[in-house]
Amino acid sequence: MQRRNFIKTAILGSTALAVGMPLYEAQAASKLKITKIRYYAAPGYNKPLFNQARGIVEIETDGGLIGIGEGGSKDMIEQCAQMLIGEDPFRIEHLWQYLYRGMFYPPGREKLHGLGALEMALWDIKGKALNVPVYELLGGATRDYVECYATGFRASKAKTEEGRAQDCIAAGLRSYRIGPTGGNGEAPFDFYDNVKKTIDVCKRIDAAVGGGGKWAIDLHTRFDMTDGLKICSALENLEPYFVEDIVRSENPGVYKTVRAMTKVPIAVGEQFGDRWDTNELIENRQIDYTRFTLPNTGGISEFKKLASMCETHYVGMIPHFTGPLATAALVHVLGASSPMRCLMELGGGEPERPPYFNEDFIHFKNGKLYLNDSPGLGVKFDPAKATFVMEIKEKTKFPHPVLKAPDGSIHNW
């Protein structure tokens, strides 16, 4: 379908056309109902570094449309999926609020991962039903592509970090990210020694790529305040694109002190979830870049809200990489968000293309990610190439009480 026909088709009831219903039934609601939710494990993914699940979610409707999402553990998906059976998949914000507020305790970050996976699949359904890519539903494209940076660079044949950094930049990526020295083996972590070695590596990488923000460093929350700031002070006269996770993330308020003591560009947030985890850091301008990502925020809608907060306070966005479909979804939301500076992280310098997704679900060229014009998220999933875990097709036997205002909006129970 041509973009110019989108409004006309939507008014005439493109949802009905997509699922074979008569036009007169396509009114305010989609008339679709969620009938089944399936969960698959990603083959070969054993979480070597991150305690974050990377399952694949299918949400099926009674009209035959299936949406695909990524993230969440079995337990979290099961709990949330039982609350979605029978619901209208088009009411994405309503369902997000229902899952977020429908329990007594606020959701933790693990549940947000599951919620984000399911919400991702709802957007995929809606885009497919209306025959438009998700970024069109989010307001349309605001940029032609999303710049990327590499954490490692697999394509390089160089035997030195400096050589790999040079190859990365030559391939068209915006920046090359390194980590601190030490902390990757069984040997005790000597803070004094690794501070000196980390500063030395940064100087060598900066010289190799010619400065200009062509490199960045993640301190991985390994250092305490004193040593983290010692590194930052040494890097101020260089030109890193950002310095990430200078101190541990349990106490975000500490960045009020960090911000006052260093001028390096600060990036924080890959361990955070929804906007309440990050809002004070953004609003008080204590960081320069956020690292929140999908599905960790709880979904595309929540990411879009966070992007608006960033625009309001002049904070850039550098999402942490998670799974391959989450990367594709990030292109949609970043491609239709504010024109604030943003970068996408690619592990190894290129997007992952697992065999259970279609080859062209993600568009990558010369170090940049481009918008996918296919309906929904542009992904096709082959269940035969993943590991089936469970199917949910009945609502929970223990209905959750819901507190609604007179207008039908959901509030905390």
Q: Distance from CA of residue 92 to its chain's centroid?
A: 17
pTM of the model: 0.91
Instruction: Say yes or no: 362 and 393 in one domain.
Output: no
| Residue 352 forms part of a structural domain | yes
Instruction: Say yes or no: 164 and 305 in one domain.
Output: yes
| Residue 44 forms part of a structural domain | yes
DSSP letter for each residue of 319-351: PPP--HHHHHHHHHHHHTS-SS-B-EEEETTS-
Instruction: Say yes or no: 90 and 187 in one domain.
Output: no
- Give residue 18's pLDDT band: very low, low, confident or very high (50, 70, 90): very low
The region that residue 133 occupies, defined by phi over 0 for left and psi between -120 and 50 for alpha, beta otherwise, is beta
Instruction: Say yes or no: 181 and 256 in one domain.
Output: yes
> Can you give the residue range of the structural domain that contains 169?
137-370
As a whole number, the mean pLDDT across the chain is 90
Instruction: Say yes or no: 120 and 148 in one domain.
Output: no
Instruction: Say yes or no: 106 and 196 in one domain.
Output: no
| Residue 301 forms part of a structural domain | yes
**pLDDT at residue 26 is higher than 80:** no
| Residue 376 forms part of a structural domain | no
| Residue 39 forms part of a structural domain | yes
Collapsed DSSP state (helix, strand, coil) of residue 255: helix
| Residue 377 forms part of a structural domain | no
pLDDT tens, 216-257? Answer: 999 999 999 999 999 999 999 998 999 999 998 888 899 999
Max CA distance (Å), the chain: 72
pLDDT tens, 122-134? Answer: 999 999 999 999 9
Instruction: Say yes or no: 230 and 150 in one domain.
Output: yes
Instruction: Say yes or no: 35 and 159 in one domain.
Output: no
Which is nearest to 52 in space by CA: 279, 289, 320, 260?
Answer: 320
Instruction: Say yes or no: 275 and 147 in one domain.
Output: yes
**pLDDT at residue 92 is higher than 50:** yes
Check which CATH number belongs to the domain holding 351 and give it.
3.20.20.120
Starting at the earlier edge strand, list the strands of the sheet with 56-61: 66-70, 56-61, 34-41, 387-392
Instruction: Say yes or no: 97 and 54 in one domain.
Output: yes
The region that residue 106 occupies, defined by phi over 0 for left and psi between -120 and 50 for alpha, beta otherwise, is beta
Percent of the chain with pLDDT over 90: 77
| Residue 150 forms part of a structural domain | yes
Number of domains in the chain: 2
Q: At what angle do helices 324-335 and 109-130 cross, to 10 degrees?
A: 70
Instruction: Say yes or no: 120 and 141 in one domain.
Output: no
**pLDDT at residue 1 is higher than 70:** no
Q: Which region among 147-151, 177-181, 314-318, 338-342 has the lowest average model confidence (pLDDT)?
A: 338-342
| Residue 118 forms part of a structural domain | yes
